[in-house]
Structure 1
Amino acid sequence: MASLNPIARGLGIALLVSLPAPIAIVVGASFSDSGYIQFPPDVLSLRWYVETLSDPRWPRAFAISIGIAAVTAVIVTACNFMAAYYTVRHAPRIAALLELAIFSPLFFPHAAMGVAMVALIAKLDLIGTAPGIIIAHLIVTLPFSYRPIHVALRSIDPDLIRAANVMGASEWQALRDIVLPMCRSGILTSLLFAGIISFDEVTVTMFLIGPNITTLPVQIFSFVQDSATPVLAAISTISVLITVLAVVILDRVAGLTFFVRRDGA
């Protein structure tokens, strides 16, 4: 068994090195001066970043995606917090049933969900609008947003809330002064997950875009069908940079210890 340790260690190192390799290739190709995706680049250039920013389609699609992701993250996090808080505090017996309903979007292929969203959003007369896309993204991000909040709420000692009630604090005061501060990491994690998933969502969104609105992933998908210049690498690099910044901000504000087991392991 001891002889397997170097092999396992080597495989682990190889895996850690290979995971960021595609990102490194995309970032390197974005600085190429050639008219096609090339890695490593012969000559370093900002040509494709300049072209990306000078083409109004990309900044507009990027701004739309950021706006939709931000609104989606805030709404779905607020809804999930209220649902998780109610079940943990007042109705633990329905927790399993509620989780089944919340995680049900994971059971369906995104293409089938896109067709269903078209039928729903069309009845609301919101096809080709930002509110219609946000409604669809709320359903897509719902399962990923709920779990961090639920775990954070379950980690709070109920005696703290009971003690606050005994001292005269109302339900709202206990929620504001005890629950929300102690759930900060879970709430921020939910916002991060929901925002990233909404920002990257393409399959369902393709069914709901219109002539006046499109998101960045859908714009990239359409662009790939016509061309494959390093503009795609530049846009992907910017998207990766924003994701990394979001994770860094989460680490600074709440800390990534939320992802670490707290049972003494």
Structure 2
Amino acid sequence: MKTIGIVLLLLLPAPIFIVFGASFNGTGYIQFPPESWSLRWYVDAFTDPRWGRAVLTSLWIAAVVATLITAISFLAAYFTLRYAPRISGWLELAIFSPLFFPHASMGVAAVALMAGMGIVGTPIAIILAHLMVTIPFSYRPIHVALKSVDPDLIRAAEVMGASELRALWDIILPICRSGILTSLLFTGIISFDEVTVTMFLIGPDITTLPVQIFTFIQDDASPVLAAISTLSVVITFLAILLLERVAGLSFFVQRQSS
């Protein structure tokens, strides 16, 4: 059984290594192992303005989504834990409900909603859809971090004359720093890599990197796709390493204390 587990662990990253090797292929088509070695596809990726625009769009949308959803999740978790613990279970059910539906169906629902608002093909539509997709992954680490705050600290601060806002700023936020950073980085990664829902909402003036890759596959399967995919994997991998270093991944597996 242990051997099977080791084999599976070795096979899981195999597609990534295949894409990595194909990105250095000197021929004009994707092939592994490469017949010859070349960096021409990385040069094409960095010099083609389409890829640069798509990367910058994905990055700034991911940054906006991560910031907004982290603030929303913190306020929701803080309110329910402090003032309405009885509705905490129902709120969590609503927050985690996006995990129950396929992204394709969420994309159809999103485009129907955004079309009624007249914002399909705009950054606002993509940001709103990404907020819906990322909220389960934002709420969980923040909720766990807030649960770890000792209520006696808050009561002591109030006894000493601190206002609720002062206690929130000086006590709760520093204690929850790891959960907040986890939410920011993890939701940023998810937003950066989101493709299925985003495909329904792009327009002629805006597209993200994952959608650009998907569109390019249908027109031209040159090794530049492998180069772009490799760069995307590297960006995601570095973000996960940063997440593990500054906060750790335990917030997604830690059980709540009864």
Q: Classify the TM-score, shorter chain.
A: over 0.9
Task: Give, in whole Å, the separation in 2 of the partners of 1:262 and 1:227.
Answer: 47
Question: Do residues 106 (structure 1) and 102 (structure 2) align?
Answer: no
In structure 2, what residue type is equivalent to 1:113? M
Report what 1:3 is aligned to. Answer: none
- State how 1:30-69 maps to structure 2 within 5 Å: 30-69=23-62
Instruction: List per-residue Cα deviations over 1:179-199 (Å, max 9, x = no partner).
Output: 111111111111122111111
Report what 1:5 is aligned to. Answer: none
The TM-score with structure 2 as length reference comes to: 0.93
Query: What is the aligned counterpart of 1:160 among 153, 175, 186?
Result: 153
Q: Report the RMSD for the aligned CA atoms in angstroms.
A: 1.8
Query: What is the aligned counterpart of 1:232 among 206, 225, 235?
Result: 225
Alpha-carbon contact 2:182-2:248 (below 8 Å) kept: no
Alpha-carbon contact 2:46-2:52 (below 8 Å) kept: yes
Structure 1 range deviating more: 153-162 or 105-114:
105-114
Task: Give, in whole Å, the separation in 2 of the partners of 1:250 and 1:208.
Answer: 29
1:40 is displaced (CA, Å) by: 2.4
Task: Give, in whole Å, the separation in 2 of the partners of 1:65 and 1:81.
Answer: 24
Report what 1:134 is aligned to. Answer: 127
Q: Which runs of 5+ in 2 are unaligned?
A: none
In structure 2, what residue type is equivalent to 1:115? V
- State how 1:4-43 maps to structure 2 within 5 Å: 8-43=1-36
In structure 2, what residue type is equivalent to 1:74? T
In structure 1, what residue type is equivalent to 2:19? V
Report what 2:189 is aligned to. Answer: 196
1:223 is displaced (CA, Å) by: 0.9
Q: Give me the identity figure in percent.
A: 70
Task: Give, in whole Å, the separation in 1 of the partners of 2:148 and 2:197.
Answer: 34
The TM-score with structure 1 as length reference comes to: 0.90
**Matched residues, number:** 256
In structure 2, what residue type is equivalent to 1:254? A
The structure-2 alpha-carbon separation of the partners of 1:259 and 1:105, relative to structure 1 and needing over 3 Å to count, comes to: closer
1:209 is displaced (CA, Å) by: 0.8
Report what 1:210 is aligned to. Answer: 203
1:93 is displaced (CA, Å) by: 0.4
Task: Give, in whole Å, the separation in 2 of the partners of 1:185 and 1:44.
Answer: 43
The structure-2 alpha-carbon separation of the partners of 1:182 and 1:240, relative to structure 1 and needing over 3 Å to count, comes to: same
The structure-2 alpha-carbon separation of the partners of 1:259 and 1:98, relative to structure 1 and needing over 3 Å to count, comes to: closer
Task: Give, in whole Å, the separation in 1 of the partners of 2:160 and 2:118.
Answer: 51
Task: Give, in whole Å, the separation in 1 of the partners of 2:252 and 2:215.
Answer: 36
Residue 31 of structure 1 aligns to a residue in which SS? coil
Alpha-carbon contact 2:186-2:243 (below 8 Å) kept: no
